[in-house]
């Protein structure tokens, strides 16, 4: 889906008959027909691909520093990997019976559309790499050298590197009845080779497979003395290409190609059947590498007979073959970014500003006076780390409870929890073992925490624990137990907090913190949760509370007073919430939605959603915060949440939305988390009624305004010259 880079208003294209059908289905709340569904909702998968076109636009933007443009190309590659591993794999699994793909016309049409969009996206991705990024890097002294680009001295060094570091780790496999096609690991780099002549035993084995060692870097830097004053690099794939004939002494190499297969990587365990979820998941992690193949990437010049052979081996249709003009795993080019130190090729350095009152005051004393609202990465996550660290060594703290969804392999937070457990505090950690692609790290932390004496539980069977909660219980003057809580929109992950935008609230509000404790009791004891007055908890009350708040704005608007909703999140897909928004729009509520990724709501349709506007912000930081704002007759209700408005978040996960209670902090969330993004005309894309995204442009005498730049300058410390 090539998105239009214009700033014209959307064109209304909905027919009168379709409007009538939409209104009828909204009023009756009937199950939409296939026709009405396509009118009311945008396709989830196509919307997700559209998000990647917007990321790719960042790589095409000449105002973005060169290495950052390359990084965006890598992000597109990583996003597409996950899209195939999860979304496409899920679609195929749902529509496969006895090994045969269903022939339902709607499904086949969706699959064809996905294939067409992805092929176009990948072709453009590699065109940007080869025609823009690499030539510009070369002009700046950063040379990614192919075999033909290397001079004699460089070739000699590469040959020596191959013989010393690469060849000893290679195991070429000539295919014959004793050596069938090998197991190929998900997303690994491999080579297929066509051979002429006889092997050492007089047989005519024609095909060989060579697996690239996963332990070697994919980008290798040549010595400075061979770099002509710049930086000379080459890819591992290029080194193997140049010397692949050396692996087949006495044979003629007719042709060869690198290839990479993407597999279904969604883990599944029957949580009701297994006795030990952690052990079962550890077993599944091994099999993830060899799931059902869903995509095959080969070099653009791969001979057709070799690509056909691979398609047959992986049982793939030709429309899932992706010939690429460059490395088959563009994600690994991120290693190139790490080799280059030129600051002019990167974003200007940014440092989150530490508030003096947080840095030099006892955190518990401060929280007894006021809540602390943090806006990451513009304000440091270190304040949250310090909160848990202080609790781990404070003799007055008797208990710490925390949820963990993603935290990474190295985590000061986890180390502090281990220290607290070792000191005899009651430490309870709810670890989500099924956090996609972080399962191994979470299993390791669960083991370490248990060995330190912490109580580790794995949440609720069948529901991912996605809520971001921490609770500290402290025995204070008079023997009274006081609760201190942290609630957030993002993960307790030390790396992502530096480039994901999120909000966090530290509070000692007695009722709010007590409700956090109730949620922990519910999750560990599997008890029925008590009625909560402040927190909205999924899967029980979150969706009904969201719809109730939307309907309240509609009721206000129908009575003639202003109704207003602003919501910011990663994705909007839940059909019941979308219907409630449509109905509120019809009643006159003005609705602005800031949706970074997939959006199934179709804005600007007469009679359906003419009062709804949708925009997406793609910039230096990943927009990750979830904010729900309802005007509510000037009550200005502001909720921060861990949940997007998706069916999985509202019904298949433990999620929490929490209110911002202090008036000044409500204003902060609105003025930092919503208003700048509605004003942005640099990184904003506006969704029209046809499902197309149009990039906002500065017009005439308008001043450019970038929300993230504004927040960096006003909340953090941005280097001069930015």
Q: Is 228:346 a contact under the CB 8 Å cutoff?
A: no
Is 179 annotated among the ligand-binding residues? no
- What pLDDT, on a 0 to 100 scale, did the predictor assign at position 287? 55
Place of tokens 């880079």: 5
Catalytic one of 143, 243, 376, 466: 466
Q: Are 61 and 695 in contact (CB under 8 A)?
A: no
Checking if the pLDDT of 18 tops 50, the result is no
More confident residue, 678 or 20: 678
Sorted by sequence, the CB contacts under 8 Å of residue 89 that are 6+ apart come out as 263, 264, 265, 266, 291, 292, 294
pLDDT at 15: 38
Fold of the 537-718 domain: Endonuclease; Chain A (3.30.870)
Mean pLDDT of the chain: 89
User: Does the fold of domain 352-531 match that of domain 146-342?
Assistant: no
Q: What is the pLDDT of residues 469-486, one digit of tens each?
A: 999 999 998 999 999 999
- Whether omega before 377 lies within 30 degrees of 0, making that bond cis, reads yes
Question: Mean pLDDT over residues 711-717, rounded?
Answer: 87
- Residue 171's Cβ-count burial label (10 Å; 0-12, 13-18, 19+) is exposed
Asked if the model's pLDDT at residue 401 lies above 90, the reply is: yes
Q: Once rounded to an integer, what is the mean pLDDT over residues 330-349?
A: 94
Active site residue 376: no
Give the separation between CA 60 and CA 62, rounded to whole angstroms.
Answer: 6
Question: Residue 260, annotated ligand binder?
Answer: no
CB 463 within 8 A of CB 434: no
* Second-level CATH architecture of 352-531: 2-Layer Sandwich (3.30)
Q: If you classify domain 146-342 with CATH, what class do you get? A: alpha beta
Mean pLDDT for the stretch of residues 642-662? 96
pLDDT digits (tens, 9 = 90+) for 229-274: 899 999 999 999 999 999 998 888 999 999 999 999 765 544 544 4
The whole-number pLDDT of residue 2 equals 47
CA 264 – CA 594 distance, rounded (Å)? 31
What's the whole-number mean pLDDT along residues 404-432? 90
Provide the residue ranges of all domains of the chain, joining segments of one domain with +. Answer: 146-342, 352-531, 537-718
Q: Which residue has the tokens 């790499």?
A: 129
Consult the annotation and say whether 436 binds a ligand.
yes
Measured distance CA(598)–CA(10) in Å, rounded: 19
Segment holding 483, helix H or strand E: strand 481-488
Give the pLDDT confidence of 53-96 residue by residue, as tens digits. Answer: 999 999 999 999 999 999 999 999 999 999 999 899 988 888 77
Distance CA 527, CA 530 (A): 9
Q: Crossing angle, helix 575-586 and helix 16-28, to 10 degrees?
A: 110
- Residues with Cβ within 8 Å of residue 136, at least 6 apart in sequence: 66
Of these ranges, 29-38, 104-113, 323-332, the one predicted with the greatest mean pLDDT is 323-332
Coil, strand or helix: which one is 500?
strand
DSSP bridge pairs for 220: 234
Q: How far apart are CA 631 and CA 629, in angstroms?
A: 7
pLDDT (mean) for 584-606 = 97
> How far is Cα 189 from Cα 207, in angstroms, rounded to an integer?
17
**Structure confidence at residue 452 as a pLDDT band (50, 70, 90):** very high
Distance CA(65)–CA(71), nearest Å, equals: 10
**Cis bond upstream, residue 380 (ω within 30):** no
Per DSSP bridges, beta strands 590-595 and 481-488 are unpaired
Percent of the chain with pLDDT over 90: 72
CA dihedral 40→548→623→41, nearest 10 degrees, is -10
- The alpha carbon of residue 289 and the mean position of all alpha carbons in its chain are separated, in whole angstroms, by 20
**Does residue 626 have a known ligand-binding role?**
no
Predicted pLDDT at 97: 64
702/722: higher pLDDT: 702
Residue 392 in contact with residue 412, Cβ under 8 Å?
no
Q: Is pLDDT at 12 greater than 50 in this prediction?
A: no
Q: Is 500 labelled as part of a ligand binding site?
A: yes
């Amino acid at each position: 889906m090539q998105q239009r880079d214009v700033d014209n208003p959307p064109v209304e294209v909905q027919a009168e008959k379709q409007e009538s059908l939409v209104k009828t289905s909204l009023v009756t709340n009937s199950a939409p027909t296939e026709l009405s569904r396509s009118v009311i909702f945008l396709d989830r998968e196509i919307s997700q691909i559209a998000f990647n076109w917007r990321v790719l636009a960042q790589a095409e933007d000449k105002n973005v520093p060169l290495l950052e443009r390359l990084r965006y190309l890598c992000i597109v590659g990583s996003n597409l990997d996950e899209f195939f591993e999860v979304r496409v794999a899920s679609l195929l699994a749902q529509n496969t019976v006895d090994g045969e793909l269903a022939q339902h016309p709607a499904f086949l049409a969706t699959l064809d559309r996905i294939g067409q969009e992805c092929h176009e996206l990948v072709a453009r991705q590699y065109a940007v790499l080869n025609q823009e990024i690499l030539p510009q890097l070369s002009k700046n002294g950063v040379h990614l050298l192919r075999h033909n680009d290397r001079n004699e001295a460089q070739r000699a060094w590469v040959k020596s590197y191959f013989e010393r570091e690469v060849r000893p780790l290679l195991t070429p496999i000539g295919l014959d009845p004793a050596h069938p096609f090998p197991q190929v690991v998900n997303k690994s780099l491999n080579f297929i080779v066509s051979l002429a002549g006889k092997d050492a035993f007089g047989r005519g084995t024609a095909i060989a497979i060579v697996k690239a060692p996963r332990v070697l870097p994919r980008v290798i830097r040549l010595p400075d003395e061979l770099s002509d004053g710049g930086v000379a690099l080459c890819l591992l794939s290029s080194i193997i290409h140049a010397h692949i004939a050396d692996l087949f002494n006495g044979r003629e190499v007719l042709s060869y190609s690198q290839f990479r297969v993407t597999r279904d990587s969604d883990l599944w365990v029957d949580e009701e059947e297994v006795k030990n979820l952690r052990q079962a998941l550890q077993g599944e992690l091994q099999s993830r590498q060899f799931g059902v193949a869903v995509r095959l990437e080969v070099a653009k010049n791969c001979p057709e007979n070799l690509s056909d052979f691979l398609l047959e081996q992986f049982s793939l249709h030709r429309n899932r073959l992706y010939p690429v003009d460059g490395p088959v795993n563009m994600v690994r080019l991120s290693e190139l970014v790490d080799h280059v130190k030129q600051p002019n090729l990167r974003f200007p350095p940014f440092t989150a500003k530490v508030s003096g009152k947080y840095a030099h005051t006892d955190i518990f004393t401060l929280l007894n006076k006021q809540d602390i609202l943090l806006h990451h990465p513009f304000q440091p996550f270190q304040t949250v780390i310090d909160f848990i660290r202080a609790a781990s060594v404070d003799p007055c703290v008797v208990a710490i409870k925390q949820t963990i969804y993603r935290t990474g392999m190295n985590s000061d937070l986890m180390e502090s929890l281990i220290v607290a457990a070792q000191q005899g505090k009651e430490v309870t950690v709810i670890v989500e073992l099924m956090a996609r692609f972080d399962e191994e790290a979470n299993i390791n932390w669960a083991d370490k925490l248990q060995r330190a004496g912490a109580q580790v539980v794995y949440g609720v069977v069948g529901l991912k624990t996605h809520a971001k909660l921490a609770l500290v219980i402290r025995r204070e003057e008079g023997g009274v137990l006081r609760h201190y809580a942290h609630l957030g929109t993002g993960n307790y992950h030390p790396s992502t907090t530096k480039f994901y935008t999120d909000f966090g609230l530290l509070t000692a509000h007695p009722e709010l913190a007590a409700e956090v404790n109730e949620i922990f009791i519910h999750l560990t004891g599997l008890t029925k949760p008590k009625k909560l007055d402040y927190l909205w908890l999924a899967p029980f009350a979150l969706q009904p509370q969201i719809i109730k708040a939307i309907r309240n704005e509609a009721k206000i608007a129908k009575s003639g007073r202003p109704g207003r909703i602003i919501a910011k999140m990663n994705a909007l897909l839940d059909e019941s919430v979308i219907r409630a928004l449509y109905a509120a729009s019809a009643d006159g509520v003005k609705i602005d939605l800031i949706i970074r990724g997939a959006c199934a709501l179709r804005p600007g349709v007469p009679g359906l959603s003419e009062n709804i506007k949708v925009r997406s912000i793609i910039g230096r930081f990943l927009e990750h915060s979830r904010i729900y704002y309802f005007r509510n007759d000037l009550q200005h209700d502001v909720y921060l949440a861990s949940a997007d408005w998706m069916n999985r978040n509202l019904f298949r996960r433990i999620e929490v939305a929490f209110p911002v209670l202090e008036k000044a902090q409500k204003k902060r969330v609105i003025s930092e988390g919503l208003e700048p993004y509605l004003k942005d005309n640099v990184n904003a894309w506006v969704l029209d009624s046809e499902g197309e995204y149009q990039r906002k442009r500065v017009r005439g005498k308008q001043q450019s305004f970038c929300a993230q730049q504004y927040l960096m300058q006003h909340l953090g410390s941005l280097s001069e010259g930015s």
